């Protein structure tokens, strides 16, 4: 093929090899109106990515210059649809369900060049985030400020979200088509926000050490720490946790250990028992806990 087409894998215009092509032509009985369509399977010469290329045109598709000359053109589309710049979040399954649904539909609108719907979708994502985090307010402006006041994002990030609100309002209320460069910029802001709130922690969990701030994660950490060599031994909590103790603040450690002892006393936890209490609690390891993939290292 002489024409360079966009490769969704390379993220740019690339030379393509046409693997297979089907052409269709037709028109009315008088021959005044004619149309043409072609369907091609193409392969990127750079990365071998496979795409589908559609070309369509008819005798009504032309632009006329000041001298009356008609310049015919064709509609050209590469499938699957793509973002010309930037990327969508690669782990949308980490997002809460309602936010994930709105995000996916917004990206689909952006790929299909539906600019007004994309702007409205970006605004709806912010609304969905506020709903999920239970941020109250009489309007979206107050709720965005509430995200900052609640510690979910910085003041600078809050100001950026207002830009999305303005663009979404103009698109939906004034039916004003936004510029693509503005949409790509705002998509980058939304991606950054969603990654910080919902994605990054889940990606890191189980790969690098992260702070333990819930009792459930504390128990899972202990379960993952106990191995066969510990069974039958008497150990302090510090001995069991070893270096992983640094993942828990001193305040949380005291709270978690008190709950841990209560669960042992009530037989909710049976893989250890308390053999000595204060000044430092001593635990006897009764058995290796049944492990599932908890994602705690």
Q: pLDDT, tens digit, for every residue of 160-188?
A: 888 888 888 888 888 888 888 899 988 99
Residue 9: its H or E element: none
pLDDT at 205 over 80: no
Last-in-domain residue among 28, 57, 79: 79
For 72, phi then psi, to 5°, come to: -80, 145
> Do 247 and 187 fall within a single domain?
no
> Do 96 and 196 fall within a single domain?
yes
Specify the higher pLDDT residue, 170 or 296. Answer: 170
Q: Whats the size of the chain, residue-wise?
A: 297
259, two tokens:
């709950």
Residue 268 belongs to domain spanning: 215-285
- What's the CA gap between 113 and 119, in Å, rounded? 11
Average pLDDT, the chain: 87
**Residue found under tokens 């603040």:** 249
Q: Indicate the number of domains in the chain.
A: 3
């Amino acid at each position: 093929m002489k024409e360079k087409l966009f490769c969704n894998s390379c993220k740019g215009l690339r030379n393509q090899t046409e693997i297979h092509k089907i052409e269709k032509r037709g028109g009315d009985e008088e021959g005044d109106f004619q149309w043409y369509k072609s369907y091609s399977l193409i392969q990127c010469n750079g990365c071998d990515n496979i795409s589908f290329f559609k070309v369509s045109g008819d005798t009504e598709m032309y632009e006329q210059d000041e001298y009356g000359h008609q310049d015919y053109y064709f509609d050209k589309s590469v499938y699957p649809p793509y973002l010309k710049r930037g990327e969508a979040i690669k782990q949308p399954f980490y997002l809460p369900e309602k936010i994930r649904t709105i995000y996916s539909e917004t990206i689909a609108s952006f790929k299909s060049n539906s600019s007004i719907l994309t702007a409205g979708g970006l605004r709806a994502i912010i609304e969905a985030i506020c709903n999920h985090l239970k941020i109250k307010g009489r309007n979206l402006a107050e709720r965005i400020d509430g995200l900052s006041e609640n510690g979910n994002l910085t003041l600078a990030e809050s100001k950026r979200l207002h830009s999305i609100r303005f663009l979404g309002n103009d698109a939906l209320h004034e039916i004003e088509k936004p510029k693509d460069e503005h949409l790509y910029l705002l998509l980058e802001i939304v991606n950054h926000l969603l990654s910080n709130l919902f994605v990054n922690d889940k990606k890191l969990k189980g790969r690098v050490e992260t702070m333990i701030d819930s009792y459930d994660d504390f128990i899972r950490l202990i379960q993952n720490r106990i191995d066969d060599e510990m069974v039958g031994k008497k150990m302090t909590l510090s001995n069991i946790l070893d270096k992983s103790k640094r993942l828990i603040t001193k305040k949380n450690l005291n709270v978690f250990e008190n709950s841990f002892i209560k669960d042992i006393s009530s037989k909710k936890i049976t893989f250890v028992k308390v053999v000595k209490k204060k000044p430092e609690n001593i635990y006897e390891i009764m058995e290796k806990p049944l492990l599932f993939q908890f994602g705690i290292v």
